[in-house]
Amino acid sequence: MAAPALSIRGLTKVYANHHQALKGIDLEVADGDFFALLGPNGAGKSTTLGIICSLVNKTAGKVEIFGIDIDRDFSKAKYALGVVPQEFNFNQFEKVEDIVLAQAGYYGIPLRRAKPRARQLLEDLGLADKRDTPARMLSGGMKRRLMIARALIHQPRLLILDEPTAGVDIELRRSMWEYMQRINREEGTTIILTTHYLEEAESLCRNIAIINRGEIVENTSMRALLGQLDVETFVLDLAAPLESVPEIEGFAVARLDPSQLSLSVSRGQRINDAFAALTAQGIEVVSMRNRANRLEELFVALVEDKQGGKGGIR
Amino acid sequence: MNAQQTLIALWTIVVREIRRFMRIWPQTLLPPSITMAMYFLIFGNLIGSRVGEMDGFDYIDYIVPGLIMMSVITNSYSNVASSFFGNKFQRSVEELIVSPMQGWTILTGFIAGGAARGLLVGLIVTLVSMFFTRLEVVHPLLTCLVVVLTATLFSIGGFINALMANKFDDISIVPIFVLTPLTYLGGVFYSIHTLPEFWQHVSLLNPILYMVNTFRFGILGVSDIAVGWALVAIVGFNVLFFAVALRMLNRGKGIRH
Ligand SMILES: Nc1ncnc2c1ncn2[C@@H]1O[C@H](COP(=O)(O)OP(=O)(O)OP(=O)(O)O)[C@@H](O)[C@H]1O
Ligand SMILES: [Mg+2]
């Protein structure tokens, strides 16, 4: 069997101020996967990604990229890896194309091969007309795309993106998703990303890990995780305000405001039954939506679970 | 990385470094030229004519080699110190760290960049000096060798400074409080034979004295010290400092958490 794109064993990180950011995590990402690493602020996502691309020294543990131990043959491992960090990390005074070409140079790619590739990448990422613009004059979303172009210049097999869509508008975010899906599908690039937009993770990623306070609290496929959802909560908008909370046999109902109800539907229950009861009571529902994104509900439950809160999954 | 890839990477850094100081030439190339022109004018022509001879040479001829060396030292040092610290400050040093380059490639690239600026400024100062005097170079090969080794040595120094620096102030402390005094006291303006014996001995502890004198020997053929040993020492310092800088870089001192 082919080596996984990423394999992490017992990864520990204690920062200089004695803060233990990672408490011995294990993680495996298959070749060709589209993987999300999720977790609240300060959970240890950037620390994990930083160790993989050697921006952060690890305290203990082992990291392999396509079976190559980063401590053994770091040069070979790095050829396989492209990184888009959370914070901007290019020289603000240099021009867009120069930044991408310099990165190619650091990988030993001759200019005659780097140039057409840089042009193509900047074109694909909508930066073609910004080639000669100093990086500081780009908008936030453009800067992020510049970092993606730079990370792809040496055609890495594994692309790591730390919050690539933070501060990117909806339209652009969608085009970035499409781009990442395309290179995942057509070039077989394995993609690992972190994001706080859970609907983004849900629609893009096949597999997922949730990290909280330096520990992996969940690591499974997106489908299996969503399948764990026991209770889904819907918000119903009513045609007319209600005086009191209606009772529906077998369902938990609450009034959010006079013309909004929340309805919790457990696994195995039929929404039809709830609507039949509402209709019988003369209550007219004009629209309905999920109270939260499905992944979000699980996420909150998982993260709260560890913090002593109440969980909503089995 | 194979040899060809390493060469491309090295070349990329060097070109980027040269582009940087060329782009900001009013800060990097112009000031030393103007300062040195002032030195030549005031110390060389106006005051120098009253000083008389130093070691058998017109005073201006005596100080020109020292002042060229002084420009090379300060410019090599500050080029690497500010460029590499700037990379740290803007986080673009991460571009280097995530790449497959070995530490020595990165280090050598920055040293070459710093030496390029030091030597270019040295050349400009030499050209400026021609308005004031005409010097014949007695030992051209030795002159080139010592100026290059000095440029690389102080580039390495600037690199170490940048690795240890946490804020911009930290890269101006060494030039102001260490390099400038040592250079002024390193025989740029006078022969140590003019000093009382005690201070002659103290001066011999100053490494910059050896570089200035070796360089002056290359141009004028006179020196306060034994040139052969000085050359050995300069090479030795280069090797030692390179090893220290490389070790710090590979351990991620100041650039990795
Ligand atoms: N350089 C550092 N020195 C000390 N502690 C640090 C350092 N960097 C991060 N930490 C700490 O390590 C923990 C994990 O940080 P990390 O940046 O990995 O979180 P994250 O999951 O990426 O969060 P976010 O979603 O906010 O980006 C945090 O508690 C943080 O305060
Ligand atoms: Mg982070």
Residue B255 lies in a domain: no
- Ligand of minimum distance to the alpha carbon of A55: 1
Round to whole Å and give the CA distance between B206 and B187.
Answer: 10
User: Is the pLDDT at A280 greater than 90, yes or no?
Assistant: no
| Residue range B210-222: mean pLDDT, rounded | 91
Nearest to B219 by CA among B75, B71, B72, B64: B64
A46 lines ligand 1 (CB under 6 A): yes
Q: Of the given ranges (A226-240, B37-51, B152-166, B202-216), which has the lowest mean pLDDT?
A: A226-240
Round to whole Å and give the CA distance between A285 and A235.
Answer: 10
Round to whole Å and give the CA distance between A153 and A137.
Answer: 22
Mean pLDDT computed over every residue of chain A: 88
A55 lines ligand 1 (CB under 6 A): no
Measured between its terminal Cα atoms, the distance across chain B in Å is: 25
- Predicted confidence band of residue A306 (pLDDT cuts 50, 70, 90): low
| Residue range B152-156: mean pLDDT, rounded | 97
Pocket test for ligand 1, best of A12, A19, A41, A195 (most atoms within 8 A of CB): A19
* Of B98 and A169, more confident: B98
Cβ neighbours of A73 (radius 10 Å)? 13
pLDDT of A247: 84
Nearest to A29 by CA among A162, A141, A158: A158
Q: Of the given ranges (A19-23, A223-227, B87-91, B117-121), which has the lowest mean pLDDT?
A: A223-227
Q: Which chain A residues are closer than 8 Å to B103 by Cβ? A: none
Residue B122 lies in a domain: yes
Round to whole Å and give the CA distance between A65 and A70.
Answer: 7
Q: Which chain B residues are closer than 8 Å to A50 by Cβ? A: 257
DSSP class of residue A157? S
Nearest to B121 by CA among B241, B22, B17, B211: B22
Interface touch A50/B86, C-beta < 8 Å:
no
Q: Is B134 on the interface with A (CB under 8 A)?
A: no
- Ligand of minimum distance to the alpha carbon of A162: 2
Alpha carbon distances (Å) from B139 to A96, A193, B146, B219: 46, 62, 11, 6
Per-residue pLDDT tens over the stretch A127-176: 999 999 999 999 888 999 999 999 999 999 999 999 998 878 888 888 88
Residue B257 lies in a domain: no
Mean pLDDT computed over every residue of chain B: 92
CB-side neighbour CA atoms (13 Å) of B245: 30
- Predicted confidence band of residue A314 (pLDDT cuts 50, 70, 90): very low
């995780």: which residue's tokens? Answer: A225
Q: Which chain B residues are closer than 8 Å to A75 by Cβ? A: 1, 100, 102
| Residue range A6-14: mean pLDDT, rounded | 94
Round to whole Å and give the CA distance between B5 and B23.
Answer: 27
| Residue range A261-276: mean pLDDT, rounded | 85
Q: Which chain A residues are closer than 8 Å to B89 by Cβ? A: none
Residue B256 lies in a domain: no
| Residue range A27-45: mean pLDDT, rounded | 92
Q: Which long-range contacts (CB under 8 A, 24 or more apart) does B189-195 make?
A: B189/B43, B189/B63, B189/B66, B190/B54, B191/B54, B191/B55, B191/B62, B191/B224, B192/B224, B193/B55, B193/B224, B194/B54
Round to whole Å and give the CA distance between A22 and A43.
Answer: 8
CA dihedral over B114, B115, B116, B118, signed as positive or negative: positive
Q: Of the given ranges (A57-66, A82-91, B46-55, B146-155), which has the lowest mean pLDDT?
A: B46-55
Domain count, chain B: 1
Tell me phi and psi for residue A191, to 5 degrees: -125, 130
- Predicted confidence band of residue B203 (pLDDT cuts 50, 70, 90): confident
Round to whole Å and give the CA distance between A32 and B199.
Answer: 71
Cβ neighbours of A157 (radius 10 Å)? 17
Any idea where the domains of chain A sit in the sequence? Answer: 6-80+156-225, 96-149, 235-288
Per-residue pLDDT tens over the stretch B5-52: 999 999 999 999 999 999 999 999 999 999 999 998 888 888 888 888
User: Is the pLDDT at A307 greater than 70, yes or no?
Assistant: no
pLDDT of A1: 59
> How would you list the strands of the sheet with A252-257, edge to edge?
A252-257, A260-266, A231-238, A285-290
């040269």: which residue's tokens? Answer: B18
Q: Are B30 and B75 in contact (CB under 8 A)?
A: no
- Choose the CATH number for A6-80+156-225 among 3.40.1350.10, 3.40.50.720, 3.40.50.300, 3.40.50.800: 3.40.50.300
Cβ neighbours of A120 (radius 10 Å)? 13
- Six-digit token string for A138: 């780009």
Q: Is B12 on the interface with A (CB under 8 A)?
A: yes
CA dihedral over A131, A136, A139, A142, signed as positive or negative: positive
Round to whole Å and give the CA distance between A107 and A117.
Answer: 14
CA dihedral over B26, B31, B33, B38, signed as positive or negative: positive
Tell me the nearest-neighbour CA distance from A39 into chain B, angstroms. 21
Round to whole Å and give the CA distance between B216 and B72.
Answer: 14
Nearest to A160 by CA among A172, A171, A152: A152
Strand partners, A232: A265
Q: Is A91 on the interface with B (CB under 8 A)?
A: yes
3-state secondary structure of A282: coil
pLDDT of A305: 58
Q: Could you give the ipTM of this predicted complex?
A: 0.89
The parent domain of residue B123 ranges over: 3-250
- Predicted confidence band of residue A253 (pLDDT cuts 50, 70, 90): confident
Rounded to two decimals, what is the model's pTM? Answer: 0.86
Residue B213 lies in a domain: yes
pLDDT of A234: 87
Closest protein CA for atom 1 of ligand 1 = B257
Q: Is B27 on the interface with A (CB under 8 A)?
A: no
Q: Is A251 on the interface with B (CB under 8 A)?
A: no
Pocket test for ligand 1, best of A45, A58, A211, A217 (most atoms within 8 A of CB): A45
- 10 Å CB burial of residue B21 (0-12, 13-18, 19+) is buried
A44 lines ligand 1 (CB under 6 A): yes
Give me ligand 1 centre to Cα A62, in Å: 20
Tell me the nearest-neighbour CA distance from A294 into chain B, angstroms. 36
- Six-digit token string for B180: 């400038």
A45 lines ligand 1 (CB under 6 A): yes
